[in-house]
Amino acid sequence: MILKRFLPNEHVRSVFEIHPDDLKARGIKGIITDLDNTLVAWDVAMATPEIIAWFQLMEKHEIKITIISNNKEERVKLFSEPLNTPFVYGARKPLSQAFKKATKQMELDKKEIVVVGDQIMTDVLGGNSAGFYTILVVPIVQTDGKLTRINRKIERRILSWMRRKGMITWEEE
């Protein structure tokens, strides 16, 4: 069933609930993460001290991170470069090309990587379609850019249907 592609493997409130020890216990060596509303609010340019600490924690545990975003180069570069983190901009998620590019850059196998993001229409669908383990996070803020607002309406319908069918058990935040 096609709707299963929208179903994340896991759901957490924020990236701070993703711990290196848990990842390593499952053989995970890399994270492909979305940027806007996953790591920081979509209208926040730079990493917060908490996000910087989370990136440092992952690095200390030898877990590679690559940011993939549908946003423009200027936005993604401004955020990623101070963190010394590889990135893919203009990713066109849910298409799989950016996921493949990130995997190649990380020099890891798909089964060693998790995909983290706040949208089922782009991050989860893209990650699942490309064969990754996916983790959905609650969006940092409830506001979005124009295109994302359209996706959110569709997303709410899909999640509502999945909830009624018993496919998901978490509560809406």
pLDDT digits (tens, 9 = 90+) for 31-65: 999 999 999 988 889 999 999 999 999 999 999 99
pTM value?
0.86
CA nearest to 94, candidates 118, 131, 66, 129:
129
Report whether 145 contacts 19 (CB < 8 A): no
* pLDDT value of residue 131: 95
Pick left, alpha or beta for residue 58 (phi over 0 → left; psi -120 to 50 → alpha; otherwise beta).
Answer: alpha
113-159 pLDDT, tens per residue?
999 999 998 999 999 999 999 999 988 877 656 666 677 777 778 77
Tokens 């203009």 — which residue? 90
Architecture category of domain 2-164 in CATH: 3-Layer(aba) Sandwich (3.40)
Count helices and strands (H / E) in the chain. 6, 6
CA angle 96, 20, 33 (to 5 degrees): 25
